[in-house]
Amino acid sequence: QQQVKQSPQSLIVQKGGISIINCAYENTAFDYFPWYQQFPGKGPALLIAIRPDVSEKKEGRFTISFNKSAKQFSLHIMDSQPGDSATYFCAAMVPTGNQFYFGTGTSLTVIP
Amino acid sequence: EPEVTQTPSHQVTQMGQEVILRCVPISNHLYFYWYRQILGQKVEFLVSFYNNEISEKSEIFDDQFSVERPDGSNFTLKIRSTKLEDSAMYFCASSGQADQQYFGPGTRLTVT
């Protein structure tokens, strides 16, 4: 059972452009939605996270948009840079649990 | 900045052998986790550990797996009799609160 669906699988963006990655979930009990960034050979690193009580959270060039009614959330990377090239995973967690349910990942390539 | 460390970085073992993967979580963290990532696939939850006991585990975490916190700093994952399909990256994570999990760099396990 796939708790969190992520798209696209891969994304190529020009330097300076906007990268958008989308996730959808089914379980309305989820109340914490982080995004992780993973470089080859490294562990996932927490990038930004949101809770359902807000519709948007921004940290620098990274923004999460959250649509509770649609059960969707997305990551926007503004002014994308080659150094942003990595795999991005969305995840979700229920308040009574400890485990993250990860999406399938998006491989982002930013072309100079 | 404190970080989660894991050893070894790469472990090669023969099918049927026991392996122990080691992790040193961030020192003041209370929650500990193991995840795995089969090459090119999403990160999957294995187990969470809090207050010296397993708090949650997935279907993957069967009787072949066990976790232990043998002292105040280490957190280990043992696979009793490895199978070919256990080949994956294994990530340890820790958190001070249940949501903000920090991942280690991973141990690549290769079962031959």
Q: What is the DSSP string of A36-92?
A: EEE-TTS--EEEEEE-TT-SEEEETTEEEEEETTTTEEEEEESS--GGG-EEEEEEE
- Going by pLDDT thresholds of 50, 70 and 90, the confidence category of residue B98 is low
pLDDT on residue A3: 87
Total of domains in chain A: 1
Segments making up each domain of chain B, as ranges:
5-96
C-alpha to C-alpha distance for A49 and A43, rounded to whole angstroms: 17
Chain B hits for A33, Cβ within 8 Å: none
pLDDT on residue A12: 98
Q: Contact, B90 vs B61, CB < 8 A?
A: no
* Length reported for chain B: 112
Number of Cα atoms under 13 Å in the Cβ half of residue B67 = 25
Query: B105 and A43: CB-CB below 8 Å?
Result: yes
Residue B29 backbone phi and psi in degrees, to 5: -80, 150
Expressed as residue numbers, the domain containing A64 is 4-111
From the list B4, B45, B100, the residue facing A99 with the nearest CB is B45
A29 near B CB under 8 A:
no
For the segment A32-47, the average pLDDT, to the nearest whole number, is 92
Tokens, residue B5: 């460390």
CB atoms within 10 A of CB A30: 21
Chain A hits for B103, Cβ within 8 Å: 36, 43-45
Q: What is the tens place of the pLDDT at every residue in A47-93? A: 999 999 999 999 999 999 999 999 999 999 999 999 999 999 999 99
B104 near A CB under 8 A:
yes
pLDDT on residue A65: 96
Q: Contact, A89 vs A102, CB < 8 A?
A: yes
Q: Which residue has the higher pLDDT, B31 or B2?
A: B31
pLDDT on residue B97: 74
pLDDT on residue A1: 55
B42 near A CB under 8 A:
yes
Query: A97 and B33: CB-CB below 8 Å?
Result: no
CA A108 to the chain's CA centroid? 12
pLDDT on residue B96: 87
From the list B33, B41, B103, the residue facing A98 with the nearest CB is B33
Query: A99 and B48: CB-CB below 8 Å?
Result: yes
Farthest CA pair distance, chain A: 44
C-alpha to C-alpha distance for A51 and B63, rounded to whole angstroms: 35
Query: A45 and B103: CB-CB below 8 Å?
Result: yes
Which residues are bridge partners to A87 per DSSP? A38, A107
pLDDT on residue A4: 94
pLDDT on residue B2: 80
Most A-contacting residue of B10, B35, B43 (CB-CB within 10 A), to test interface: B43
Q: What is the DSSP string of A12-27?
A: EEETTS-EEEEEEE--
Q: What is the CATH number of the domain that holds A32?
A: 2.60.40.10
Residue B100 has pLDDT above 60, yes or no: yes
Interface of A with B in 68-107 (CB under 8 A): 89, 93, 97-105
From the list A34, A42, A103, the residue facing B42 with the nearest CB is A103
Q: Any idea of the CA torsion for B112, B9, B102, B66, to the nearest 10 degrees?
A: 50
C-alpha to C-alpha distance for B65 and A84, rounded to whole angstroms: 36
Pick the CATH number of B5-96 from 2.40.50.100, 3.40.50.720, 3.40.50.11540, 2.60.40.10: 2.60.40.10
B56 near A CB under 8 A:
yes
Q: Contact, B75 vs B24, CB < 8 A?
A: yes
